[in-house]
Amino acid sequence: MGRIITLLTDFGTADGYVGEMKGVILSAIPDAVIVDISHALAPQDVDAARLTVARVWRKFPRGTIHVVVVDPGVGTERIALAVEVDGRLLVGPDNGVLSPALISPGARTVALAIPPDAAPTFHGRDVFAPAAAALARGRSVDSMGQPYAGAIIRRTPEPRRVESGHIAGEVILIDRFGNAVTNLVGRRDMIVEVGGLELPISRTYADGEPGQPLALVGSAGLIEIAVRDGSAAADLQLSRGTRILTRHAFDTVRTVSIR
Amino acid sequence: MGRIITLLTDFGTADGYVGEMKGVILSAIPDAVIVDISHALAPQDVDAARLTVARVWRKFPRGTIHVVVVDPGVGTERIALAVEVDGRLLVGPDNGVLSPALISPGARTVALAIPPDAAPTFHGRDVFAPAAAALARGRSVDSMGQPYAGAIIRRTPEPRRVESGHIAGEVILIDRFGNAVTNLVGRRDMIVEVGGLELPISRTYADGEPGQPLALVGSAGLIEIAVRDGSAAADLQLSRGTRILTRHAFDTVRTVSIR
Amino acid sequence: MGRIITLLTDFGTADGYVGEMKGVILSAIPDAVIVDISHALAPQDVDAARLTVARVWRKFPRGTIHVVVVDPGVGTERIALAVEVDGRLLVGPDNGVLSPALISPGARTVALAIPPDAAPTFHGRDVFAPAAAALARGRSVDSMGQPYAGAIIRRTPEPRRVESGHIAGEVILIDRFGNAVTNLVGRRDMIVEVGGLELPISRTYADGEPGQPLALVGSAGLIEIAVRDGSAAADLQLSRGTRILTRHAFDTVRTVSIR
């Protein structure tokens, strides 16, 4: 059984870019097990890639190699990274997409050498896929380049306490269902304030009536705003960066608009 | 060679939910062969999931495990199901998505135990993926939960004879090409009446002129309305539930509007 | 380790058509390694399929079987093809999608027999998937049908020299990023003229300022028009067929409109 290599890109599939990457990998190591995470990330959405990496990278077994290519700076002086941590390996551009692994204790990071004949417009095919294949064939991360300490780290913004006594967070992601995921770590005794509404924490997306907004603790532990059988993003006009306030259920501060 | 596990969801791929499920499965059983059926079902479209299950579940070899997660009731009291029939295994929520297997002779159905630490918002990751992995590792369906006789069955509505002598059916699905698939079992001597048109049964999508509507027997044996090089749904304003009438070619009933 | 079988279609995934094809293949040859190239090609876009085939078919290792189904003429008299060249095998309809392989030196092409019970609306499931499985099980192309010399070849149009002394090419593809790929083979000393602009050849998508148009040599060696952090197709109103002029950097011909 071959090594697992996952792919996460913003390439879509129709143009064949992902197909080329798969061909390069399988030509180098025919028994690799290629797993598509997604190719449907919004073009050049580095933060979406980072959040998806955060969700998935450690869910795969040790030995897995994650290839992450959302890379607006391809071909420039930006560094190409490989990192090994907690038994998993990741390769991708140095723009923050690999942050969840880079900040994990014990991460070993190298700057990959760029082959001189790599197309400056497609490092997915010419740098990252070959690097993943080399790692899958047993090359060590340390042998792939020089240690690199300057990797760019992007972080989800931290919630902070505001004058009213609330905790102010923000929407960090709208998912496919229109749920607005926030940067607020969920607790069952919170009240979430959004668009003039005060929402207690529900348990499931099906609590309440159809069309009714609700707040709940999502599967990554973060507060989400949802609308039963609807889209919270559309119905409540939420988007990335929209401010969300919370207070504990026993607090009595007045509702304030978050927009 | 590992067991085949197929995935059919409405999750899209960009948010990483499917990636998490794949990671959970491969961590439990690294040689599983994961096959994507689709993650592009319309959000919460239980009937689309059911129709896709109907098309595919028996096409895979015996031993295949199908994971179907379109699950608006996730985390509520709705039951989580595992079913074994005709050598295939299926897991998914008790909302009708598994109906094509549940109604097959000899189906054995159990109510899966929900792990106490399962996120009430994501049973795909915390209930169904682990159940599939356990089945792939050889656990029997019977050992996974109590027998369950009350599973929800959803069925495609039956066509019926109407006063004019026609058989009245309806559109049950619009496919990616804009073809309108009906619940009418196709016969070559039918005339299909739709939007004031009388359409004999064509053999292929390329019969007739570009832009011309046609009826034909689709690859599941059901009557479809298509437009050559176009979209029947858009051009003829067809959608799920649109009534479609048929008569045998030797009938002479007058055309009636179907809308 | 099984044979690699790639799939490239315009079926989307939601309707289950691709799922059926995968089931047919795995039922015939359970250890096949199925690799999705794309199912997101625009419906019936034969040229997009051809260009994707051109990018990927030779990137996969010898022994790979490529299944290409963009097939507006399914069920008509159009021939079903299998071709072997350079150690790779391809199956698909005779409408030009396989041209990149068909025109390669040494290609051996046969007309596949159509099974009498094949649905005339779905040769992907009933002709091409079974043919791929048979090839994967070791059947020779020559045993699959009669040699066929009349296969339809579609070619990317050739650029040509126009009166002004320019080379006139055209946009052949808009990719997911809105980049406009042309039929002009790139050279670093070119000037590209588009929409009244004169663009020298940049090295990367990140050259210049955000929102600024640029021309560069893409990863297949062809000139592309891009907009940094934007969509060239949208911003410059480029689409397939838009004329693009080039001249060498030392030329001084005046800018002309390309539309």
* Interface predicted TM-score (ipTM) of this complex, two decimals: 0.94
In this prediction, residues B213-240 reach a mean pLDDT of 95
Give pLDDT, residue B163: 86
Give me Rg for the CA atoms of chain C: 21
Q: What distance in Å separates residue B82's CA from the closest CA in chain A?
A: 22
CB proximity B128 to A under 8 Å: no
What span, in angstroms and rounded, lies between the C-alpha atoms of B5 and B30?
12
In this prediction, residues A109-126 reach a mean pLDDT of 97
- Considering only residues 108 to 127 of chain B, which have any Cβ-Cβ distance to chain A shorter than 8 Å? 119-122, 125-126
- Read off the tokens for A32: 């690799």
- All residues of chain B having their beta carbon less than 8 Å from the beta carbon of residue A218 are 119, 121-122
Predicted confidence (pLDDT) at residue A59 exceeds the cutoff of 50: yes
The pLDDT confidence band at residue C253, using thresholds 50, 70 and 90, is very low
Predicted confidence (pLDDT) at residue B215 exceeds the cutoff of 80: yes
B121 touches B20 (CB < 8 A): no
Give pLDDT, residue B208: 85
The pLDDT confidence band at residue B255, using thresholds 50, 70 and 90, is very low
CB proximity C130 to A under 8 Å: no
CB proximity A6 to B under 8 Å: yes
Task: For residue A140, give every residue at least 6 positions away whose Cβ sits within 8 Å of its Cβ, in sequence order, or none.
Answer: none
Give pLDDT, residue A217: 94
pTM of the model: 0.95
Q: What distance in Å separates residue C249's CA from the closest CA in chain A?
A: 21
- pLDDT over 90, % of chain A: 89
CB proximity C8 to A under 8 Å: yes
Report the mean per-residue pLDDT for chain B.
Answer: 93
The pLDDT confidence band at residue B259, using thresholds 50, 70 and 90, is very low
Tens digit of pLDDT for each residue in A186-211?
A: 888 889 999 899 999 999 999 989 99
Give pLDDT, residue C255: 31
* Burial environment of residue B138 by CB neighbours within 10 A (0 to 12, 13 to 18, 19 or more): exposed
CA dihedral sign of residues A132, A133, A136, A138: negative
Closest alpha carbon within chain C to A78: C206
DSSP string, C181-243: EEEEEP-TTEEEEETTEEEEEESSTTSSSTT-EEEEE-TTSEEEEEETTB-HHHHTT--TT-E
What span, in angstroms and rounded, lies between the C-alpha atoms of C56 and C58?
6
In this prediction, residues C184-203 reach a mean pLDDT of 91
- Three-state SS letters, B158-202: CCEECCCCCEEEEEEEECCCCCEEEEEECCCCEEEEECCEEEEEE
Give pLDDT, residue C186: 84
Q: What distance in Å separates residue C177's CA from the closest CA in chain A?
A: 6
Q: Which chains touch B (3 or more CB pairs under 8 A)?
A: A, C
Tens digit of pLDDT for each residue in B46-86?
A: 999 999 999 999 999 999 999 999 999 999 999 999 999 99
Give pLDDT, residue C249: 61
Predicted confidence (pLDDT) at residue B104 exceeds the cutoff of 70: yes
Predicted confidence (pLDDT) at residue C93 exceeds the cutoff of 90: yes
Predicted confidence (pLDDT) at residue C39 exceeds the cutoff of 50: yes
Predicted confidence (pLDDT) at residue A257 exceeds the cutoff of 80: no
The pLDDT confidence band at residue B249, using thresholds 50, 70 and 90, is low
Report the mean per-residue pLDDT for chain A.
Answer: 93
Q: What are phi and psi of B9, to 5 degrees?
A: -140, 175
In this prediction, residues C163-169 reach a mean pLDDT of 90
- All residues of chain C having their beta carbon less than 8 Å from the beta carbon of residue B40 are 12-14
- All residues of chain B having their beta carbon less than 8 Å from the beta carbon of residue C4 are none
- Considering only residues 179 to 208 of chain B, which have any Cβ-Cβ distance to chain C shorter than 8 Å? 203-206
The pLDDT confidence band at residue C165, using thresholds 50, 70 and 90, is confident
